[in-house]
């Protein structure tokens, strides 16, 4: 799960998918990262933590990290939140880029529509609730598709 800062959207995506993996007793590994390194080592944004917890998911243990070129080798699937993340991941991966592994997360819930998960960073708590709902639907679709 990849966004820009690994502070707002992708920590929610990691926590939401991890929760479903746990409930379905699947042995998948999920992680998240940001294409930028502004917040390395930090916990998720307090509003991402709050909204997750209101939905029964604790993401407070997560630590921000930057997306690495080797991630595209190590992971089967890379989900990005928006087109800018997609372009950044492509650039970071260089010759290891594999188009088949990378997709916009919302293409799982709205196939071929290339919708983005909007960045809630500059907005209020309402944006974090909206983002939670979008990511939750997409993660539900991922579980149904691959389990």
Residues binding ligand 4NP (CB under 6 A): 3-9, 34, 38, 119, 121
Q: Whose Cβ is closer to ligand 4NP: residue 24's or residue 51's?
A: 51
What's the min distance (Å) between Cβ of 8 and ligand 4NP?
3
Q: Is 115 a catalytic residue?
A: no
Max CA distance (Å), the chain:
42
Q: Is 8 a catalytic residue?
A: no
* Rounded Cα distance, 65 and 7, in Å: 9
- Give me 60's structure tokens: 């407070």
Q: Which residues pair with 33 in a beta bridge?
A: 2
What's the min distance (Å) between Cβ of 27 and ligand 4NP?
27
What's the min distance (Å) between Cβ of 5 and ligand 4NP?
3
Q: How many Cβ atoms from other residues are within 10 Å of residue 55's Cβ?
A: 15
* Rounded Cα distance, 113 and 93, in Å: 24
Q: Is 31 a catalytic residue?
A: no
Residues designated as active site:
3, 9, 119
């Amino acid at each position: 799960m990849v966004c820009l800062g690994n502070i707002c959207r992708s920590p929610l995506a990691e926590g939401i998918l991890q929760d479903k993996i746990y409930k379905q007793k699947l042995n998948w590994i999920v992680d998240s990262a940001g294409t930028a390194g502004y917040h390395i080592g930090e916990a998720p944004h307090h509003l991402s933590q709050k909204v997750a917890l209101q939905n029964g998911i604790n993401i407070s243990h997560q630590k921000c990290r930057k997306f690495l070129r080797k991630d595209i080798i190590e992971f089967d699937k890379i989900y990005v939140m928006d087109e800018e993340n997609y372009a950044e991941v492509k650039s970071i991966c260089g010759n290891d880029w594999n188009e088949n592994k990378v997709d916009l997360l919302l293409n799982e819930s709205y196939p071929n529509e290339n919708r983005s998960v909007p960045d809630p960073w500059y907005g209020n708590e309402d944006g974090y609730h909206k983002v939670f709902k979008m990511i939750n639907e997409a993660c539900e679709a991922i579980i149904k598709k691959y389990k």
